[in-house]
Structure 1
Amino acid sequence: MILKMADPGTDKALLREYKRVDESGTYLHWFLYNNWRKIVQLMGDYPYLSTRTKLNTDPNLPKQ
């Protein structure tokens, strides 16, 4: 669902790497590890995501 938001022109590396994940999912953890920033960005851009779930817009993060 999220990878449908990826732009084939600019996100070639992300899509190419995703295609290397086989059905067993043995490479899935490395794919997520290597691409988590882009995946999170795509999740933020996904239409209606915030209306489907109640996302906390002001999380209680520990102060450093």
Structure 2
Amino acid sequence: MVVKVEFVPSSPFCPIAFKLAMDVKNAAAKVVGLKKALVYCRGHMMEQQINEMVNKEQQK
């Protein structure tokens, strides 16, 4: 199963938006049977960079 999560931080300049995105991704990774979690930040001044970093494929 693949899940897509979108969230909007409390402010377009929220200083913890990246941490929130990683916290969501890490929590989703603990769900049994979940193959992949895609997390997208919306409405933040750096949403493109945050989304790219959070959803970057891990190299093995």
Give the TM-score taking structure 2 as reference length: 0.29
Which structure carries more helix by proportion? 1
Which structure carries more strand by proportion? 2
